[in-house]
Structure 1
């Protein structure tokens, strides 16, 4: 059961051997004492999707009006860095932590430490392997994303031919689960052969180099490219074009709906599926506040059915919330680009 903000802080102060005044929380019942402090430990602020996520979190109505003091911490794609950031957030007595983990397994211990300190942890976007440790989590189904990826390329190939798979950072939940979905699609299409499969660590530059090498070594054998995110798909697309190949003849697909991917879809050069950073980030803020304030909390993000969105809020009491994917098509890409420009 969620504790009140005040009771959480009293408990944390007692654990630390300090008084509320000594901890800097002021007099009980004051507005200052009731400001919620939330730390968001994210993978990296060097990738567009994570920046979109952080920007969306900062646009949450309660962050904008000062009800929530949000601190976004850059994990720099380093699980140890994220673990240290958890220790800092615990020591500083944050009321809740939102976690976008770098590694599916290494993220378990920091979450366990926070929960033992009485600080609820909300998962968002990528996940840890022991999701039972979360107070709740909100993400999109990455197995489904993998299937969408593979099926879109296979369909463009006419159901047969050779593909290469560009994977994300090994050990992240998105890499693991998207690969599972890709393999399900491949198993259903036995006339498709995987020629090469390697990580490019979610990086456009690494994917460009990797696919350039494959195109040289494999000549004209490659009929399609399945990339586990848009950054790598764009790098693969650049390699295809640099080799003088027609993107229509070597279809490329990615996931996330980053701006350059939307523009490439608009040009008819690749396929993408948008991952809703706004819903995942702002939904996580609402779930963190529900964990802090309890069942009476009313969500503010537009993603929830109470605000005209698509997901049932369910009082903020469910452990898992799944944000729908948005296939990027010729019919909706203009609207998605306009929305991006207005953010």
Structure 2
């Protein structure tokens, strides 16, 4: 039976994306890692997990895949990880409810599951999840919304019209917007959300923000909830010749977002959670679970950073040559 488990792990590792050569399987700890995407924040998370695996003084076999926001792909890979007898699974859950069954199967197989960034609904999380590494999404949105509100006040805009480019297929993005709106309501209660549509991939963000401006030419600002939403909105604004008239407040720092913030003509602030930092934190929790340690609390908090000046952006670019937060 043991030889069959070793064969299953080896076969799984060969099928996963980017798995580096690992130490002898008999002497290593198999950890499954699932990403929602392979660029931006999730690329940074992956690097954090991989760097952590190489620096923790333990032999770790990472078995990785990209679920591409597909609950079916996520469930299938979790089942393969269970068959491979991994010692823990790290994932950003695709769906608060749709990911529950697969995570429950891992839990029932005795495999600790660690969420990062997104997870399943609270009730099931308490039953089936070992730890959840996350920055408070409501606070994340509130801090960025506070900067946006101060901008509107400084510009004398009492009833700002805002277009939202969302990622609200995951609950964390809904909470980001709720925090953003709470900050606006406290300082500029006359604000209006003119439109709210999905658009985190760059090409989609460009197209959707362009459509929003056609339908709502009085939009003063865009809020990009994640991914390349903010960068896409900036591109549309510049293409339309609206620099100086419409601004952007965005989530998730990338090289392109930092470059636009350094320019500061359209992008005015970026809120960020270090992907590499959260990857390392999630891996630490996974190893604790694999070793049978009791978690002090399910939620393991991660810090939030707000970049709101050209100098902030230039410093970020200087210290993140690889473009990963």
Q: Secondary structure at the match of 2:133?
A: strand
Cα offset, 1:21, TM superposition: 4.1
Aligned mates of 1:126, 1:284 — CA distance in 2: 12
Pick from 219, 223, 240 the counterpart of residue 222 of structure 1. Answer: 219
Q: Secondary structure at the match of 2:5?
A: coil
Partner of 1:320: 299
Partner of 2:270: 272
Cα offset, 1:63, TM superposition: 6.2
Aligned mates of 1:87, 1:61 — CA distance in 2: 23
1:172-187 equivalences in 2 (<5 Å): 172-187=170-185
Partner of 2:228: 231
Q: Is the 8 A contact 1:157 1:223 kept in 2?
A: no
Pick from 154, 158, 162 the counterpart of residue 149 of structure 2. Answer: 154
Partner of 1:260: 256
Q: Which sections of structure 2, spanning at least 5 residues, go unmatched?
A: 8-23
Aligned mates of 1:23, 1:207 — CA distance in 2: 44
Partner of 1:42: 35
Using structure 2 for the length normalisation, give the TM-score.
0.84
Partner of 2:163: 165
Partner of 1:334: 314
Q: Which sections of structure 1, spanning at least 5 residues, go unmatched?
A: 1-17, 26-30, 296-314
Q: Is the 8 A contact 1:149 1:226 kept in 2?
A: no
Cα offset, 1:109, TM superposition: 1.5
1:212/1:22 Cα in 2 relative to 1: closer, same or farther (>3 Å)? closer
Pick from 108, 111, 128 the counterpart of residue 119 of structure 1. Answer: 111
Using structure 1 for the length normalisation, give the TM-score.
0.80
In the alignment, structure 1 residue 196 sits paired with structure 2 residue 176: no
Q: Is the 8 A contact 2:91 2:115 kept in 1?
A: yes
Aligned mates of 1:35, 1:51 — CA distance in 2: 24
What is the number of equivalent residue pairs in this alignment?
298
Q: Secondary structure at the match of 1:196?
A: strand
Farther off after superposition, 160-169 or 320-329? 160-169
1:191/1:24 Cα in 2 relative to 1: closer, same or farther (>3 Å)? closer
Aligned mates of 1:129, 1:162 — CA distance in 2: 33
Q: Is the 8 A contact 1:166 1:207 kept in 2?
A: no
Instruction: State which structure, 1 or 2, has the greater radius of gyration over its C-alpha atoms.
Output: 1
Q: Is the 8 A contact 1:272 1:328 kept in 2?
A: yes
Aligned mates of 1:230, 1:148 — CA distance in 2: 18
